[in-house]
């Protein structure tokens, strides 16, 4: 059974993504996108290091998994043509995948991942000096 938890911001973000999807593409498409996101979250919960996920540079333990890689896990009639979000998460100390949010593929992945992690104020994720300064050198 998949083991993951969404931080509150991730829940709100997913709700917002699905609401925008419903407004732009209709309820049926939003339902299929919801299924795609849940399928990606289940895959992360089953195997946090699954094929296709990457560790975010300068964010030890923080991983990214594109929802498009779960497309084939959904039955053909329920698939989304081009899922555009990447899930940002880490494996928690209790062995449960903690999902911080989703990043749209138009955004700079490392910057948005740092923002999501920073907003959680995680005590056991140490950002490198360069990551804390947004990549700028002093």
Buried b (16+ CB within 10 A) or exposed e, 52-76: ebeebebbebbbbbbbbbbbeebee
28 beta partners = none
Per-residue pLDDT at 138: 30
Q: How far apart, in whole angstroms, are the C-alpha atoms of residue 88 and residue 103?
A: 7
Report the greatest alpha carbon distance in the chain.
52
Give the lowest-confidence range in 94-98, 123-127, 131-135. 131-135
pTM of the model: 0.81
Residues in the chain: 138
């Amino acid at each position: 059974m998949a083991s993951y938890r969404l931080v509150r911001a991730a829940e709100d973000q997913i709700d917002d993504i699905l609401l925008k999807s419903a407004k732009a593409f209709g309820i049926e498409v939003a339902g299929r996108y919801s299924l795609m996101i849940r399928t990606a979250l289940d895959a992360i919960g089953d195997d946090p290091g699954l094929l296709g996920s990457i560790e975010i540079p300068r964010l030890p333990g923080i991983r990214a998994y594109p929802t498009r890689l779960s497309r084939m896990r959904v039955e053909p009639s329920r698939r989304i043509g081009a899922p555009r979000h990447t899930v940002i998460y880490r494996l928690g100390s209790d062995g449960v995948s903690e999902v911080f949010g989703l990043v749209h593929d138009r955004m700079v992945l490392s910057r948005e991942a740092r923002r999501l992690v920073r907003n959680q104020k995680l005590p056991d994720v140490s950002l490198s000096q360069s990551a804390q300064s947004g990549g700028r050198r002093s």
